[in-house]
Amino acid sequence: MQLHALVALLTLIGAANANDRHVRLAKKAFNVARAPPSSGSTITSATSTSSISSSSSGSSSTSAGASTTTSAVASGSPIGTSIPPLSQITSGMPSQSTLPPTKTYSAGATPPISGVPPLPTPFVYRATDWPPQDQIAPTGVFPPSAIYTNSHALFALLRSGSAEVAEWMKELDGFNIPDFSPTADGTCVGDPVAAADAADRGWWTCGGYTRVTDITACPDKLTWGVSFDDGPGFYSKQLLNFLTSQNITSTFFVVGSRVIERPQVLIEEYMAGHEIAVHTWSHRPLTMLTTEQVVAELGWTRKAIKAVLGVTPTLMRPPYGDIDDRVRAISLAMGMVPVIWTRTPSGATFDTNDWKVPGGVVTGSQSFATFQAILTNATLLNTGFIVLEHDLYSQTVDLAIGYTLPAAMSFNPHLTMDSIGECNHIPATNLYRESNKNTSFPYPNSTSSDSSVSGGSGGHSSSGDISMNIDRIPMSIAVVAGFAALSSLLL
Ligand SMILES: *[C@@H]1O[C@H](CO)[C@@H](O)[C@H](O)[C@H]1NC(C)=O
Ligand SMILES: *[C@@H]1O[C@H](CO)[C@@H](O)[C@H](O)[C@H]1NC(C)=O
Ligand SMILES: *[C@@H]1O[C@H](CO)[C@@H](O)[C@H](O)[C@H]1NC(C)=O
Ligand SMILES: *[C@@H]1O[C@H](CO)[C@@H](O)[C@H](O)[C@H]1NC(C)=O
């Protein structure tokens, strides 16, 4: 009966929007609702791998030809897998198999950080608790039609994601959130008008502008602040085993849509002493989103991590490094310090491009050559450094385990390898709101000091409001009609 009512509602919305695509997406949303998230997830974001669904059985095996170990990792190593030769790490290579958890932790287990709460009761995924995966987190107000799908509608109808976002928006009260209009697509090229203003905006992806509140390196020379983005993934466990075997800790910038899929992997990372930080819900360039959407992207991820681990991270990394003073201010107001990766004085960014290997844009060999150039360039800096790498794809994990991490471990001169909080001498207790007693970290305000921040009237929203107000209208009609239908069915 309830299901029928729901179908009626969705059909109504489909009619209200007069778009078949929405009906298809609604059906997909139903599958998500009935199945564990990994089997029904809609993968749309640039760094979400489309191989997730195809390899979700976890049974894809490494082909015999790829099992020769030629890397620095000895065969029979504790990582539980063998690493293919560099030349075979390419797009379309067979994926590693998925390793089972080594250890399961029960509710009440004590994490390795003093002052954090014990692990909460095991996370149980329910579709109606979470926004659709890999879509821009809904704000409760309908987003522009370009990204408007019926799985948003399902979520909004069942749960109205607006309550959470409205609550999180209050965290911005009293903060000076610049009133910039969102950029077209997070790139210079895509938005010449915003690009002309990049220095004033403090836009990192467009000119490398940073503020003193950004963490972009480690202070001590020849120290690498190790991090991996976009997990927890199918292959994160392999990486985890390797890091443990080598006594290396890392910061994991996790995507909310992945956290609800693989909570057990996140728990293993956290319990093994790695740092957990926020990397948004759907991995979109944040400067292109409205202020409400940025709040939703950070808020839902924070909520997912809290649900699984019981803690709230105080570090975040903007996807693609796409940050400006508006996004910085929102992030800091929500209690999260932005972390990017190192950009040298000559403008080279320490991006291994490993994320371009699965799509065939660069080869494993090219990515590793870039990493070697990064290490060489790092020796010329007066500080330590941070490098962009990923644990979502089989290829990127193979590169890390087999090549980049061993190369750094045997590098001459010797490199110190620590997680990012650790290399920045930030006490572990400061990395989670629940254990943090430091009133000056996360930093209480947005940009360090300068007055280049425009706006300042406390208005949170920018031009995004216009499209949202337009989109609000058909949705309200659909909701009213939907509830009318529901009442008539139930009465
Ligand atoms: C791991 O590293 C820590 C900190 O650097 C050190 O105290 C410890 O002895 C190391 N353990 C092993 C097994 O290498
Ligand atoms: C390393 O530094 C050189 C010289 O500045 C630069 O051309 C190159 O792009 C840099 N490479 C990386 C990966 O940082
Ligand atoms: C608080 O955080 C700031 C910034 O990281 C740091 O300089 C300071 O030492 C910290 N204080 C304590 C007591 O941890
Ligand atoms: C941030 O705080 C510092 C000191 O706490 C102050 O000097 C600065 O003006 C503030 N900046 C903004 C943009 O509010």
Which atom of ligand 4 is closest in space to residue 175's alpha carbon?
A: 14
CB of 443 shorter than 6 A to ligand 3: no
Atom 12 (ligand 2) nearest CA: 374
Contact by Cβ (8 Å): 56, 95: no
Cβ–ligand 3 contact at 288 (below 6 Å): no
Residue 391 alpha carbon to ligand 3 centre in Å: 30
Both tokens of residue 340? Answer: 């990017």
DSSP percent split of the chain into helix, strand, coil, nearest 5: 40, 5, 50
Question: In whole angstroms, what is the distance from residue 344 CA to residue 385 CA?
Answer: 9
The DSSP result for 169-206, as a single string, is HGGGTTS----PPPPSSSSTTT-HHHHHTHHHHT-STT
Write phi, then psi, for 383 (nearest 5 degrees).
Answer: -120, 180
Amino acid at the residue 123:
F
Ligand 2 atom with the shortest distance to the CA of 351: 13
- What predicted TM-score, i.e. pTM, was given to this entire model? 0.77
Ligand 3, atom 12, residue with closest C-alpha: 438
Q: How far is the CA of 431 from the centre of ligand 3 (A)?
A: 11
Ligand closest to Cα of 249 equals 1
**375 close to ligand 2 (CB < 6 Angstrom):** no
Q: How far is the CA of 243 from the centre of ligand 1 (A)?
A: 12
Structure tokens at 330: 């929102």
Q: Say if residues 89 and 395 touch (Cβ distance below 8 Å).
A: yes
Give the per-residue pLDDT at 94: 85
426 CB near ligand 3 (under 6 Å): yes
Atom nearest to 425 CA in ligand 3:
5
Determine if ligand 2 sits within 6 Å of the CB of residue 346: yes
Query: Which residues have a catalytic role annotated?
Result: 229, 390
Going from the Cα of 289 to the center of ligand 4, the distance in angstroms, rounded, reads 25
SS (H, E, C) 367-396: HHHHHHHHHHHHCCCCCCEECECECCCHHH
| Cβ contact 13:150 at 8 Å | yes
Determine the distance separating the centroid of ligand 1 and the alpha carbon of 410, expressed in angstroms: 17
Distance CA 60, CA 450 (A): 53
The atom number, within ligand 2, closest to the CA of 376 reads 1
- Longest CA–CA separation in the chain, Å: 76
Which residue in 28, 354, 356, 291 sits closest to 136, CA to CA? 291
The confidence score (pLDDT) of residue 40 equals 29
Cα separation values, 163 from 29, 35, 139, 356, 433, Å: 21, 25, 9, 37, 22
Give me Rg for the CA atoms of the chain.
22
Ligand 4, residue 447: give the atom nearest the CA: 13
Query: Quick one: tokens of 255?
Result: 């995507």
Contact, 454 vs 180, CB < 8 A? yes
Q: Does residue 9 contact residue 486 with C-beta atoms inside 8 Å?
A: yes
Mutation probe of ligand 3 site: the residue of 423, 441, 443 with most atoms within 8 A of C-beta: 441
Q: How far apart are CA 182 and CA 40, in angstroms?
A: 31
Please give the pLDDT value at position 129.
86
Please work out whether the CB of residue 133 comes within 6 Å of at least one atom of ligand 4: no
Whether residue 334 contacts residue 169, with contact meaning beta carbons closer than 8 Å, is answered with no
With H, G, I as helix, E, B as strand and everything else as coil, classify residue 91: coil
Rounded to the nearest 10 degrees, how much is the dihedral formed by the CA atoms of 128, 131, 135, 138? 130
Ligand 4 center–CA 326 separation, angstroms: 15
Q: What local confidence, expressed as pLDDT, does residue 150 receive?
A: 61
Atom in ligand 4 nearest the alpha carbon of residue 329: 13
Which sign, positive or negative, has the C-alpha torsion 294, 288, 316, 125?
Answer: positive
Question: What's the CA-to-centroid distance between 176 and ligand 4, angstroms?
Answer: 10
Q: Is 184 in the pocket of ligand 2 (CB under 6 A)?
A: no
pLDDT at res. 163 = 84
Q: Is 427 in the pocket of ligand 3 (CB under 6 A)?
A: yes
Full domain range(s) for residue 270: 1-491
pLDDT along the chain (491 residues), means of 10: 39 36 32 31 32 30 31 45 90 86 92 98 90 87 50 58 87 94 98 98 98 97 98 96 97 98 97 98 98 96 98 98 97 97 97 97 98 98 98 97 98 98 98 96 63 31 29 37 38 34
- Alpha helix stretches (DSSP H) within 37-191: 37-40, 51-54, 150-159, 162-169
What CATH number is given to the structural domain containing 337? Answer: 3.20.20.370
What is residue 103's predicted lDDT score, i.e. its pLDDT?
A: 87
Identify the pLDDT of residue 151.
62
Q: Tell how far the Cα of 39 is from the centroid of ligand 3, in angstroms.
A: 43
Residue partners of 183: CB distance under 8 A and separation at least 6: 190, 191, 194, 203, 285, 287, 288, 324
**CA-based end-to-end distance of the chain:** 12
For residue 227, the cross-strand partners are: 251
CA distance 398 to 364: 9
State the Cα torsion 215-217-220-226 to the nearest 10°: 110
Could you identify the atom of ligand 3 that is nearest to the CA of residue 441? 2
Pocket of ligand 4 contains residue 446 by CB under 6 Å? yes
Encoded amino acid at 171, one letter: E
For the chain, the domain total comes to 1
Q: Are 451 and 282 in contact (CB under 8 A)?
A: no
Pocket test for ligand 2, best of 344, 368, 375, 380 (most atoms within 8 A of CB): 344
Mutate which of 213, 214, 445 for ligand 4? The one with the most ligand atoms within 8 Å of its CB, which is 445
Check: CB of residue 228 under 8 Å from CB of residue 253: yes
